[in-house]
Amino acid sequence: MSLPAPSAWLVFALLSAAFAALTAIFAKIGVAEVNSNLATLIRTMIIAAILGAFLAATGGLRALSSIPARSWLFLSLSALATGASWACYFRALQLGDAARVAPIDKLSVVLVAIFAVMFLGERLSPANWLGVGFIGCGALLIAFGK
């Protein structure tokens, strides 16, 4: 019996998890001798340059005026939240062990589930909520378990 081919979202989600793990390791090393906010700025500039080059190469750039105002608003709010998250994450990595900081950061999974229900009207099954609870408990056990 063969397993079904994974959905595209799953492949990208797994790649995201792998890159996020590498982010924590590389960032922990990178912030050792650099101000955490400066490190966040450097990282952001590199990401912007890479994404700009990628969009230019693939024809993904479009007139900024064609983007709806609602999209601008929520993308701007997302950018502010991302910047705050990265600044806090880099500072936490500078102050703590990567193996303890990263699981606490991943409590975002729990918060996304809660916020998605509250603000987006999404519904989670009891099994989904159990999984959310396990993620939360697991993150706390990894970070604080003795």
- pLDDT of res. 7: 87
Between the alpha carbon of residue 91 and those of residues 41, 85, 121, 133, 141, the distances in Å are 13, 10, 33, 27, 22
Q: Average pLDDT in the 104-115 region?
A: 94
Residue 43 lies in a domain: yes
Whether 138 is covered by a domain: the verdict is no
In a domain, 28, yes or no: yes
**What is the overall mean pLDDT for the chain?**
91
Tell me the residue range of the domain where 84 lies: 8-105
Does 99 reside within a domain?
Answer: yes
User: Quick one: which of 96, 91, 99, 98 has its CA closest to 142?
Assistant: 99
When divided into structural domains, the chain yields a total of 1
Measured CA distances, 24 to 21, 42, 69, 75, 99 (Å): 5, 15, 34, 24, 9
- Domain membership of residue 89 (yes or no) is yes
Greater pLDDT, 86 or 62: 86
- Output the pLDDT for position 61: 81
What are the tens digits of pLDDT across the range 110-142? 999 999 999 999 999 999 999 999 999 999 999
